[in-house]
Amino acid sequence: MPEPIRAVEHELTALLRRGRAVSWEIAREVHPTLEPNTYGLLLWLRRSGSIRLTELASRLGVGKGTLSRQINALEVLGLVHRDPDPSDRRAAQISLTDEGQRRFDVARYARLGEFVRALDGWPDRDVEEFARLLGRFNDSWQ
């Protein structure tokens, strides 16, 4: 295996480990009983506003059963709600409640603060290039 690929693996492993730790902290800020992987789910819900479970599962790359269990737990906590899908009454649109949105926004602001601190001193062009390359990398995995 070429050394640059090994270096990418090493750096991504470190990034993912740190990301999981931060996600754990952020999820706990949203609600003390949330699992760390819930942050990504809440982020998608915040971005989309309202989305069907099947579409969300597809975007997140998880099974509908797994996602349904997570949504049920968030619903019990009052962070998400389901509304009938106007195009298909058998389906539901899932969205954050006002409280879920408020809690998520507070937690996300803290996470963005971590990024600001980590990138402090980087030239703007480097931050832009870093974001572009991460986006390109993520797009190549779809």
| Residues 134 and 119: beta-carbon distance below 8 Å | no
CATH number at residue 46: 1.10.10.10
**In the numeric block, which tokens belong to residue 76?**
């019990």
pLDDT band at 142 (very low <50, low <70, confident <90, very high): low
**Does residue 101 surpass a pLDDT of 80?**
yes
Q: Per DSSP, what are the bridge partners of residue 71? A: none
DSSP symbols for 14-25: HHHHHHHHHHHH
pTM of the model: 0.75
> From CA 80, how far away is CA 131, in angstroms rounded?
30
Task: For the chain, state the CA radius of gyration.
Answer: 17
The H-or-E segment that residue 92 falls in is strand 88-96
Enclosing domain of residue 64 = 3-140
Contact (Cβ atoms closer than 8 angstroms) between residue 80 and residue 97: yes
Q: Which two tokens stand for residue 113?
A: 């603060």
pLDDT digits (tens, 9 = 90+) for 20-76: 887 788 888 888 888 877 888 888 899 988 999 888 888 888 888 888 899 999 999
- The tally of domains found in the chain comes to 1
**Averaged pLDDT of the chain:** 89
Residue 79's CB is within 10 A of a number of other CB atoms, namely 23
What is the pLDDT at residue 31? 86
Q: What is the pLDDT of residue 37?
A: 78
